Amino acid sequence: MRNEVSEKLQKCLCSVREKTDFVPQVAIVLGSGLGDYADGIRVEAEIDYKEIEGFPVSTVPGHAGKFIFGYVGSVPVVCMKGRVHYYEGYPISDVVLPTRLMQLLGAKILFLTNASGGINPAFHAGDLMLITDHIATFVPNPLIGPNLEPGVRFPDMSHVYDPVLSDVIRSVAEEQQILLQEGVYIQFTGPSYETPAEVKMAGILGADAVGMSTAVEAIAAVHFGMRVCGISCVCNPAAGISKVPLSHKEVQEAANEAAPKFKKLVTESVIRFGEV
- The catalytic residue positions are 32, 63, 85, 87-88, 115, 212-213, 236, 248
Could you count the other beta carbons within 10 Å of the beta carbon of residue 200? 16
Nearest to 168 by CA among 104, 227, 105: 227
What is the CA 46 to chain-centroid distance, rounded?
Answer: 19
CA 9 – CA 74 distance, rounded (Å):
28
What's the DSSP call for residue 238?
A: P
Helix (H, G, I), strand (E, B) or coil at 241: coil
User: What is the chain's length?
Assistant: 276
Q: Distance between CA 264 and CA 37 in Å, rounded?
A: 10
Q: How many CA atoms lie within 13 A of 244 on its CB side?
A: 11
Q: What single DSSP character describes residue 256?
A: H
CB 214 within 8 A of CB 99: no
100-122: string of b/e by CB count within 10 Å (b at 16+)? Answer: bbbbbbebebbbbbbbbbbbbee
Distance CA(34)–CA(258), nearest Å, equals 9
Q: Do the beta carbons of residue 6 and residue 148 sit within 8 Å? A: yes
d(CA 224, CA 220): 6
Helices 163-175, 248-273: inter-axial angle, 10-degree rounding = 100
